[in-house]
Amino acid sequence: MNGTETFVYTKYVLHRTKFSILLLLQVPAIILSLLIFIFFAKNPTIRQAPHNRALIILLIVNFMQLSLTLPLNLHFYSQGYVSPATPTYCTWWTFIEFTFYVTSEYLMATISVQRHMLVFNSHVLNIRWMRITFHHVPLLFCLTYPMLFYFFVIILYPCDGSQWDYTNNLCGFADCYLVSNKVLGTLDWCINNGLPMLVNAFANLLLVVRVVHQKRRQHRPVTWKQQRRMTIQLFCISSLYLMAWSPCLIVGVVQILGNPTFLAEVQTDYFLDMIYIVCLFLPWICVGLLPELQKWMRVLFGCGPRRNIIGTITQIGTKM
């Protein structure tokens, strides 16, 4: 084979491999997500716990990524090209994908900050105006801001549609504001992607330090058991985000700072696809960190302890 044929064949193998891996991980992730939703629906006390409310919203956004946007990526990798190859399709595809990306990131950063309040100052949530201001409003912002931002910079941004690359995933990430407006593209990359990850990392590191310091100062093992669980839960989920996003964010920063070709092919073929790790593995982490959910699933699938039914047996006989 000549160079062109080798390149095409390599791309074909890479796309088929990605398709197989993503599909293999998507199906159990969707099933687990549905089971988690059923569990929360059947257990209102657990569902209404303050530290679970934001997690449920995050899981809903994650489920929408699994069921709405990931199939579009699977379709591309199965075909090897964007279909339908139209500017309208690419515009709405990137709008939906980017919106879910940033919504998920902002939710994770907000949860990381709010967890400090839940662990150390949970009494403030008993005050209605503080609960609305510091809990509900930030979550509402996470759900509305990304949608509004990308509606203006993707849907309403003036563009002729000739910049799209129909041979690459997400049409080559070639939205007009990214291609023609470097200032807006840099702000989007730094504020909408980099900033939530920095807040996420710093908030989790600070939370661990505060928990260890507070536990040494106040010896209350019963009280700190729940707080320790919340801290471990947040740390594990945040680590998943940092592991998935850090490679592409670091490469993106280097490219923005003056070396636009730095690891460009690796970024496109591998690092950007690592973002899917979040939506594919988040349900698994939630199952592993919720003991009540594990017990419910064991009973559901007949793996839990069976109850012994004790009753009175009445023997009826006839006298001879």
Residue 312 has pLDDT above 50, yes or no: no
Task: Report residue 283's pLDDT band, with 50, 70 and 90 as the boundaries.
Answer: very high
Q: How far apart are CA 244 and CA 253, in angstroms?
A: 16
pLDDT (tens digit, 9 = 90+) per residue, 161-170? 888 999 999 9
pLDDT at 301 over 90: no
Residue ranges per structural domain of the chain: 3-300
* Position 216, amino acid: R
Mean pLDDT of 224-247: 81
pLDDT digits over 79-124, tens only? Answer: 999 999 999 999 999 999 999 999 999 999 999 898 888 777 777 7
Helix (DSSP H) and strand (DSSP E) numbers for the chain = 14, 0
Domain 3-300 homologous superfamily, CATH: Rhodopsin 7-helix transmembrane proteins (1.20.1070.10)
User: CA separation (Å) from 133 to 55, 56, 129, 136?
Assistant: 18, 19, 6, 6
Select the more confidently predicted residue: 6 or 74. 74
pLDDT at 34 over 70: yes
